[in-house]
Amino acid sequence: DSGVTQTPKHLITATGQRVTLRCSPRSGDLSVYWYQQSLDQGLQFLIQYYNGEERAKGNILERFSAQQFPDLHSELNLSSLELGDSALYFCASSPQQGHYGYTFGSGTRLTVV
Amino acid sequence: GIQVEQSPPDLILQEGANSTLRCNFSDSVNNLQWFHQNPWGQLINLFYIPSGTKQNGRLSATTVATERYSLLYISSSQTTDSGVYFCAVAGNQFYFGTGTSLTVIP
């Protein structure tokens, strides 16, 4: 167990729907990062939060949004889902703002049908 | 963004063999990490190594930041080493390479 908890582990949903992925960071870590891993795009950085504030944005679609709550857990919301959104979504956490000391969760496998 | 290239893309080894995986990157970086993604999809942090050499059991890594490359050495490979090895470098975000897929056969 890495200490980073992601739920659910698997999700199957239909096109056009909306889902929420949840991440609890490792104890003491203030930064949360979201990544998407698909077969054709590899691992893509989506967004980072640090202590509740958005810190960096990567290749995140406008249909996707995220937030980090006061207890430091984070949620990634995916809406108007398309078949191409099927992927493994990872959350990682680290103690500080910089991209080091990453610990990844076990991921949420999203299948859009 | 920073380009990260890993080689070889695929590697098949007999159990007990040694291997070297390479990661080249296109710009100066603050941080470099090696990860192993096991066959179940889990990403495991192997090394945080922006420069220098580190060893952890049968694995070791060396980063030469001035020449923009890093090497991951796997000695006496085991079937449990199978999976994909990613190099990731940090600029303003974390950039992952496309990985080296390693299969260790008994």
Beta carbons within 10 angstroms of residue A105's beta carbon: 28
- pLDDT of A99 reads 66
Point out which residues pair with B32 in neighbouring strands: B89
| B40 compared with B74, residue with greater pLDDT | B74
Residue B93: which pLDDT band, with cuts at 50, 70 and 90?
confident
B94 and A CB contact within 8 Å:
yes
Measured in angstroms, the CA of A89 and the nearest CA of chain B are apart by 11
Tens of pLDDT, residues B60-90 = 999 999 999 999 999 999 999 999 999 999 8
**Residues in chain A whose beta carbon is closer than 8 A to a beta carbon of chain B?**
2, 33, 42-45, 48, 56, 58, 88, 90, 92, 98-104, 106-107, 109
3-state secondary structure of A82: coil
- The closest CB to that of A103, out of B41, B45, B92, belongs to B45
Tens of pLDDT, residues A1-19 = 779 999 999 999 999 999 9
- β-bridge pairing B19-25 and B69-74: antiparallel
- pLDDT of A74 reads 98
- pLDDT of A81 reads 98
Whether B58 has a pLDDT exceeding 80, the answer reads: yes
The answer to whether the beta carbons of residues B29 and B91 sit under 8 Å apart is yes
Structure tokens at A17: 């729907």
Tens of pLDDT, residues A67-88 = 999 999 999 999 999 999 999 9
3-state SS, one letter per residue, for B4-47 = EEEECCEEEEECCCCEEEEEEECCCCCEEEEEEECCCCCEEEEE
Beta carbons within 10 angstroms of residue A48's beta carbon: 24
- pLDDT of A41 reads 76
- pLDDT of B91 reads 74
The answer to whether the beta carbons of residues A5 and A23 sit under 8 Å apart is yes
- The closest CB to that of A56, out of B44, B86, B92, belongs to B92
